[in-house]
């Protein structure tokens, strides 16, 4: 997620019609008219919607982030992966080329250079977990299985992410980690994942965020997007990230075992998913909590003083609550040699 200060900075450029000169500057690289891009949200990137254009039959989404940010750096490989996967027949939206024939453009703006890309809207229905049927859960699982089966490309991708190992070192260097309960819990998660038998736990291309929010259910099945978190790693970890709302390991969610079974049944129609991998799902979801418990700290750079705009304070509080939830979950977990008890 972008730091709160960056979201605040961009929001100050947005007028009452949801237009921004920053979005206009980036949109110009695709020949989109001034004022056509309207602010939708800012999270992992700034997202503006272009309701109508000459570039596609439906809406477009303009996404951009500061060039020097982690989010900006991820947009370039993300766009290349999406284009490659689309060419290979995977059900992913394909980025639209700029006027210069590029998947991404780095554009100078009044707030510094921004890396941008444009994608068409995914055709289909947005489905909340409360609306999910067993049939659609199975189709969702099939879609991720197909990505895991066919998603490797010759493109350079980030290597497997450890369980916030670098963040843990920064948060509690050296011996201090063993004395900090949270760092101790994260260390146990890291150690348990490191002991997995590669003969029973597969590694490969991971989407990194294959949740329902990043899918649309069209007439030919799910269409996915937002590949900014793609990386090489444990495939069971990618499954665990996708089904967090089905396993009750996100705030205010509840376990939905029948839908989880449907998802895994669909996944197994495409590729093998061992019993050991299924049993490791709780361990991999704890790894996700570890990354959030530590990684969200870098987002909280505004909103905590009490004199900022109300929405900035509310966003700070909301992220703090998420961070607290994941910290407490890690502290409650009992990790044995085979994973969580």
Dihedral sign for Cα 260, 262, 266, 271, please. positive
Residue reference for tokens 């030919």? 220
**pLDDT number for residue 160:** 43
- Whether the CB-CB separation of 195 and 337 falls below 8 Å is answered with yes
pTM of the full structure = 0.89
DSSP string for 65-93: EETTSHHHHHHHHHHHHHHHHHHTT-SBP
pLDDT (tens, 9 = 90+) of the chain, 341 residues, equals 999 999 999 999 999 999 999 999 999 999 999 999 999 999 999 999 999 999 998 999 999 999 999 999 999 999 999 999 999 999 999 999 999 999 999 999 999 999 999 999 999 999 999 999 999 999 999 999 999 999 877 666 554 444 444 444 444 444 445 578 999 899 999 889 989 998 999 999 999 999 999 999 999 999 999 999 998 899 999 999 999 999 998 888 899 999 999 999 999 999 999 999 999 999 999 999 999 999 888 899 999 888 899 999 999 999 999 999 999 999 998 775 555 65
d(CA 301, CA 3): 6
Instruction: Report the topology of domain 4-120.
Output: Phosphorylase Kinase; domain 1 (3.30.200)
d(CA 142, CA 224): 12
- Whether the CB-CB separation of 49 and 38 falls below 8 Å is answered with yes
Q: What are phi and psi of 339, to 5 degrees?
A: 115, -165
- Whether the CB-CB separation of 4 and 312 falls below 8 Å is answered with yes
| Domain extent listing, the chain | 4-120, 129-340
- Whether the CB-CB separation of 157 and 231 falls below 8 Å is answered with yes
Tokens linked to 248: 């009750």
d(CA 335, CA 341): 6
Dihedral sign for Cα 84, 88, 92, 94, please. positive
**pLDDT number for residue 216:** 97
**pLDDT number for residue 336:** 57
Residue reference for tokens 């948060």? 171
CATH code for residues 129-340: 3.90.1200.10
User: Is there a common fold for 4-120 and 129-340?
Assistant: no
Burial class (CB in 10 A: 0-12, 13-18, 19+), 310: exposed
Dihedral sign for Cα 100, 101, 107, 113, please. negative
């Amino acid at each position: 997620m972008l730091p709160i200060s960056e979201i605040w900075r961009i929001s100050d450029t947005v007028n009452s019609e949801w237009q921004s000169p920053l979005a206009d500057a980036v949109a110009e690289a695709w020949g989109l008219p001034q004022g056509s891009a309207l602010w939708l949200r800012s999270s992992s990137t700034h997202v503006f919607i272009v309701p109508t254009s000459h570039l596609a039959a439906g809406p477009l989404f303009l996404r951009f982030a500061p060039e020097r940010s982690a989010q900006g750096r991820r947009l370039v490989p993300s766009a290349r992966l999406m284009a490659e996967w689309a060419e290979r027949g995977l059900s992913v939206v394909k980025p639209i080329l700029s006027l210069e024939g590029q998947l991404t453009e780095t554009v100078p703006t009044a707030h510094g250079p921004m890396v941008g890309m444009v994608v068409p809207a995914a055709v289909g229905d947005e489905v909340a977990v409360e609306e999910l049927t067993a049939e659609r859960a199975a189709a969702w699982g099939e879609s991720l299985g197909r990505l895991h089966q066919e998603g490797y490309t010759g493109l350079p991708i980030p290597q497997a992410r450890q369980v916030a190992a670098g963040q843990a070192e920064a948060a509690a260097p050296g011996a201090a980690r063993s004395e900090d309960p949270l760092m101790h819990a994260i260390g146990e998660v890291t150690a348990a994942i490191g002991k997995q038998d590669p003969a029973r736990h597969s590694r490969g291309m991971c989407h990194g965020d294959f949740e329902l929010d990043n899918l649309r259910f069209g007439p030919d099945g799910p269409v996915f997007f937002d590949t900014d978190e793609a990386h090489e790693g444990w495939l069971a970890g990618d499954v665990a990230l996708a089904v967090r709302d089905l396993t009750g390991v996100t705030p205010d969610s509840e376990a939905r075992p029948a839908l989880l079974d449907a998802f895994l049944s669909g996944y197994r129609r495409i590729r093998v998913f061992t019993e050991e991998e299924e049993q490791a799902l709780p361990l991999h979801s704890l790894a996700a909590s570890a990354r959030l418990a530590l990684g969200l700290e870098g987002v909280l750079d505004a909103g905590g003083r009490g004199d900022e705009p109300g929405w900035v304070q509310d966003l700070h509080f909301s992220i703090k609550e998420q961070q607290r939830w994941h910290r407490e979950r890690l502290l409650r977990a009992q990790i044995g040699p085979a994973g969580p008890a």
